[in-house]
Amino acid sequence: MTEKKIRCRIAPSPSGFLHIGTAKTALYNWLFARSQDGAFILRLEDTDAERTDEQYVDAMCEGFRWLGIDWDEGPKFGDEPQKGAYGPYRQSERSHFYQREAERLLQEGKAYKCFCTREEIDAMREQAAREKRPPRYTGKCRNLTPDEIAAKGETPYSIRFRVPEGETVVEDVIQGPVRFNNKEYDDFIIVKPNGAAIFHLAVVVDDGLMEISHIIRGDDHLTNAGRHVMLFNALGYPLPKFAHHPLVHDEQGRKYSKRLHGANVLDWREDGYLPETLINYIALLGWTSEEEGREFFSLEELKGMFTLKRLTKSPARFDRKKLDWLNGQHIRMLSPEQLRDRVVPIMRKHNLDVDARQQEWLLEVVSICQEKIPTLNHIVGYTDFFFERPATYDEKGTRKFFEKEESVLWLQTAIECMQQADVWDHQTLKAQYEADAAAKEIKIGALVNTTRLALTGKTVGPGLYELTALLGRDEALARMERALTFIQQQSGDTQT
């Protein structure tokens, strides 16, 4: 017997941005499908017309693409046509399937027409509340005879699923067996009076007809799983394997609110984080490697190592410090050319005239920052002085390096170092600085930090000798002379 092909899906509702929790669910499904040579399906649950907006569809698909989560089957997106043999892949285009399957359940006696009005349902709930019972449907229409149903004529009705007696067991890969006493459920609605399918029916019909083999989703859906297993069995679909993973929590241990910055996956793109970092970090929010303590993974490594059995039950708190550390590590792993290509658009966006510079020079500028920057956006603060002389000097740095009695000596010595360098490169400059500092008994840090402030207006940045070499001799000396004049004017000493 041929083993059933692995088919996983993500089925977001396009009523907002791509939430980091949805991205986590998508990633786990995608990694599992890729690790098993299976298929990953993107399906949009867009039946709620009031909440669905095409801009959210675009934003959600764009978020998946940025992360590198591609799909084998899915709806039309941008210039990309629908692909896959199990479509359509939008619930709004699949109502005929839901109507057909609901009618089948009616014919088989597994569902029934409910003619109760909203007022009657409310009265049942109020009565239950007075009697301190759970607010369940009483089953008033459960046993209507064909004649009684016919007598209703054109009266609007919903369709309710006839919950069977006994127990429903959800065999969950992560949670273990989860048992539901069917008495805890009332006969729930699967089709509204207007003919629209309720989520429970739509999702099960979609999963069944699309032959989904594994349903990997957040554990907030665990309470729905009992209903879904009942529907799978009633419809005669093969039962998929379930895996309900914990939700993403914020740093205070609460569910990651949509209102928080970073809930939108594309917030991290705007903040200068790499998609490789987000993939790595999100994977760790509920999955552990067999290599104890390991936290850094490439996408290819995750695809080779991911297994459902390593998913954990406990929710993980979002840890910004770990995310920042991982981002730095992934930045270091880029080739200089890759880093240049990623940061040049950011530099251009901040009005740095990168297009007037040679690509090789830009490559060197970016390379000397690679070990320093925690995010791509930091490249601006680490390189803007290459494109324009500093208009001001850091206030704290000025007090520390420009307002000391020795400040003029430090700056003049640094100027002499530059003038005496017979070759204009970072190694020669470093050797010259160290030699002059020793000869004049000046701490090398005083020379380095004073020079950095004079050249960049800042106290932190890429390696001093490297950035000095890239500025060029004439530009570096001009900035040093300008800083010396500034110090002398500030101190009232106009002597040279």
Model confidence pLDDT, tens digit, residues 13-66: 888 889 999 999 999 999 999 999 999 999 999 877 666 678 888 888 899 999
What's the mean per-residue pLDDT of the chain? 93
| Per-residue pLDDT at 228 exceeds 60 | yes
* Residue 120 maps to a domain: yes
Question: Residue 343: which CATH number?
Answer: 1.10.8
Residues 226 and 157 in one domain: yes
Longest CA pairwise span in the chain (Å): 111
Spatial CA neighbour of 242 closest among 217, 220, 224? 217
- The reply to whether 24 belongs to the active site is no
At 227, list the tokens. 């209903």
> What is each CA distance from 139 to 30, 111, 159, 230, in whole angstroms?
42, 12, 12, 18
Task: Tell me what pLDDT residue 49 has.
Answer: 64
Instruction: State whether 160 and 77 are in the same domain.
Output: no
Cα separation, 436 vs 443, in Å, equals 10
Percent over 90 (pLDDT), the chain: 82
pLDDT, tens digit, 9 for 90 and up, residues 137-196: 988 999 999 999 999 999 999 999 999 999 999 999 999 999 999 999 999 999 999 999
**Contact between residue 44 and residue 202 where contact means Cβ atoms under 8 Å apart:** no
Residues 215, 263: one domain? Answer: no
Dihedral Cα 273, 275, 277, 279, nearest 10 deg: 140
d(CA 480, CA 496): 13
> In the Cβ-directed half-sphere of 235, how many Cα atoms lie within 13 Å?
28
Same domain, 241 and 255: no
Q: Which domain holds residue 178?
A: 94-245
- Same domain flag for 158 and 87: no
Query: Which residue of the set 4, 192, 258, 443 is catalytic?
Result: 258
Let me know whether 78 and 150 are in one domain.
no
Among 317, 347, 363, which residue terminates a domain? 317
Question: Using 50, 70 and 90 to split pLDDT, how confident is the model at 3?
Answer: low
pLDDT at 177: 96
For the entire predicted model, the pTM comes to 0.90
Same domain, 165 and 233: yes
| Residue at which a domain ends, from 290, 317, 344 | 317
- What is the number of structural domains in the chain? 4
- CATH number for the domain harbouring residue 121: 3.40.50.620
Q: Which residues of 153-182 are buried (b: 16+ CB within 10 A; e: fewer)?
A: eeeebbbbbbbeeeebebebbbbeebebee
Give the H/E segment covering residue 316: strand 316-317
Residue with tokens 């998946």: 64
